[in-house]
Amino acid sequence: MSIHHPELRTVAQIPAYHAARQPDTTAITCAGLSLTYAQLHAESNRIAHALIASGTGRGDRISYLGVESTHYYATYFACAKIGAVLVPVNFRLTRPEVEHILRDSGSTLLFVDADLRTAVDDSAEITVLGASADDFEEWTSGHPDTDLPAVTGPDDAVIQLYTSGTTGLPKGVVLAQRSFFAIRDSLAAAGLDWIDWQEGDRSLIGIPGFHVGGVWWATQGFSAGITNVAMPRFDATGALKLIESLEVTTACVVPAMLRLLLAEPGASKEVFASVRKIVYGGSPISEALLQESLPVFDCDFAQIYGLTETGNTAVCLPPADHVAGSHRLRAAGRPYPAVDVKVIDDAGRPVPVGEVGEVCLRTPAHMTEYWGMPEATAKTLVDGWIHTGDAGRLDEDGYVHISDRLKDLIIVGGENIYPAEIENVLAKHPGVADVAVIGVPDEKFGEAVHAFVAARPGADVRPRDLLVFCRDQIASFKIPSKFHFVERVPRNPSGKILRRELREQFWSGRDRQVN
């Protein structure tokens, strides 16, 4: 029977709850360091008291730029306990990208790994602290580990995650504490085990905590009181060793990670013998990869679909539908019991079953807002419905099928990328007259970024020039894998890039325009 603790309603309550009931159970292990639930509660209390002493209060933003660690999650709980909002920063971002997040969030404090310190401008008006184990021990020294008064509820903000934006600048998605409990409760009320936790589970957090999928999955594990296994950075060789040595029972990954695991020389059914369930999402999965994964992992699979704006998962393809050869494998899944789905046309009217339109989701886990962007919030969150920007349809059984994207989003190995961000950078190159960026199918990472470049007359521009130009301005995963030089970029009379025309040569013959 799946573990469910309905009395837990906020992230802030989790450490104390399990410290009282199972103090010696390992809560989190990462890179050779571990914290029991008693230690996690005490550590997060010390950090919380240190934050208060530094002037941090309710609603303040605290940024964290670093790889996965026990201290990252202790800081997450500390912020929740005092009503501060954690702003995790993707450690693969460049200095300009980091600067935007720090400036936009208004963060007053930044924890940063030593080898990532160069990504932070020394002139930034923010207090910078180290994020190593020694740094935290020194910073919290002298502060008590006593409990703090409860100051937050389910509707209070707890984390602010930055997603790529259609205009080129990432937006801060604010999630309340309720976002991490709503789906859990709906599954329990319906008696469904699509996403479940069992006594003795050891859960691999495959997706990093600066992504909604990573922090959501970790919070589910902590809430259930099981042992969470994190890696500073995901690598297939290390993951394989952890799965076997720690007898990992469940994991949350993106499809690209499954492919990397299967490609490891030691990958076998025996190595994965302890695994009972794999939850995957973040990007669509190919049928070929899924068919290859099923016999090797030999466990239950559950696919989840959602957005940062929906508080992560809103739709699930449960284990029962993961049958080799089943037509269900082409669906994203069914909405959870508490989630509603509708598909609408350009005028906002629901379309008949089977017809393609924009997929909209109504979920109790939805975001509260885009930080400081009321107009953008109003466009995405309409009367409780999240407009996903994904084109899809509902079949006669209520399953959601995703067929295309309306917002030009590219997903590379689970990382969300918007073309406008890359186009804005390339357009600054003195030899570039015009540029368009699209996603093309890629067997390893799902999709790859391709750029179409029209050079200025007389300019001698080469792919390597553009590659080097991008390196200091955008994260490596956003840099195009290929540059196509063209005489002109196709645009309509109003100047909008005709991306579908560019995509046609790569996606023709596929029934889904996402990979």
- Alpha-carbon distance 361 to 343, whole Å? 9
Residue 351 DSSP label: P
Q: Is residue 2 part of a domain?
A: no
Q: Which DSSP state fits 328?
A: G
Domain boundary among 288, 321, 354: 321
CATH number at residue 390: 2.30.38.10
Q: Helices 255-263 and 287-297: crossing angle, nearest 10°?
A: 60
Write out the two tokens for 13. 């309550």
Task: Report yes or no on 418 lying in a domain.
Answer: yes
Pair 52, 118 in one domain: yes
Q: Looking at the domain assignment, is residue 328 inside a domain?
A: no
* Residue type for position 314: A
The list of the chain residues with pLDDT below 50 reads none
Do 301 and 376 belong together in one domain? no
The residues, any chain, with a CB within 8 Å of residue 241's CB and separated by 6 or more, are none
DSSP state of 266: T
Cα dihedral angle (498, 499, 500, 502), rounded to 10 degrees? 100
Residue 153: alpha-carbon gap to chain centroid: 24
- The Cβ of residue 464 has, within 10 Å, a number of other Cβ atoms equal to 9
Q: Tell me: do 417 and 399 sit in the same domain.
A: no
- Parent domain of 369: 337-405
332 occurs within a structural domain = no
Pair (273, 346) in one structural domain: no
| Same domain, residue pair 51 and 146 | yes
Residue 202 shares a structural domain with residue 341 = no
Bridge partners, 64 (sequence order): 88, 111
Tokens 């999240």 map to which residue? 386
Confidence at residue 413, expressed as pLDDT on a 0 to 100 scale: 84
Please indicate, yes or no, if residue 6 is contained in any of the structural domains. no
Compute the distance between CA of residue 175 and CA of residue 368 in angstroms, rounded to an integer: 6
Determine the residue type at 24.
D
d(CA 245, CA 61): 38
CA distance 105 to 122: 18
Q: β-pairing, 85-89 with 334-335?
A: unpaired
Q: What CATH number is associated with residue 199?
A: 3.40.50.12780
d(CA 469, CA 429): 7
Q: Do strands 171-176 and 202-205 pair parallel, antiparallel, or not at all (unpaired)? A: unpaired
Q: Are residues 401 and 436 in the same domain?
A: no
Other CB atoms within 10 Å distance of the CB of residue 397: 9
- Phi-psi domain of 363 (left: phi exceeds 0; alpha: psi -120 through 50; beta: other): beta
Q: Taking Cα atoms as reference points, which of 356, 495, 508 lies closest to residue 440? A: 508
b/e for 76-90, b at 16 or more Cβ within 10 A? Answer: bbbbbbbbbbbbbbb
pLDDT of residue 504: 83
pLDDT of residue 325: 77
Partners of 171 in beta bridges: 163
Q: Domain check: are 345 and 417 in the same one?
A: no
CA distance 10 to 13: 6
- Does one domain contain both 134 and 243? yes
How far apart CA 312 and CA 429 sit, in angstroms, is 36
Q: Which of 405, 423, 449 is the last residue of a domain?
A: 405
Q: Is residue 365 part of a domain?
A: yes
Q: Is residue 329 part of a domain?
A: no
**Residue 162, number of CB atoms within 10 A of its CB:** 23
Q: Specify whether the CB–CB gap between 332 and 321 falls below 8 A.
A: no
- Same structural domain for residues 94 and 169? yes
Q: Residue 176's closest CA among 282, 85, 109?
A: 85
Q: 265: buried, middle or exposed (CB in 10 Å: 19+, 13-18, 0-12)?
A: exposed
Of 348, 380, 405, which residue is a domain's last? 405
Q: What is the rounded distance in angstroms from the CA atom of residue 270 to the CA atom of residue 250?
A: 15
Q: Which long-range contacts (CB under 8 A, 24 or more apart) does 440-444 make?
A: 440/503, 440/506, 440/507, 441/506, 441/507, 441/510, 441/515, 442/412, 442/481, 442/515, 443/286, 444/256, 444/259
Please give the tally of structural domains in the chain. 3
Residue 436 lies in a domain: yes
354 & 444 share domain: no
- CATH number of residue 448's parent domain: 3.30.300.30
- CA-based nearest residue to 253, from 235, 226, 266: 235
pLDDT in tens, 385-417: 999 988 889 999 999 998 866 777 788 888 888
For the beta carbon of residue 102, count every other beta carbon within 10 angstroms: 23
Both 93 and 217 in one domain: the answer is yes
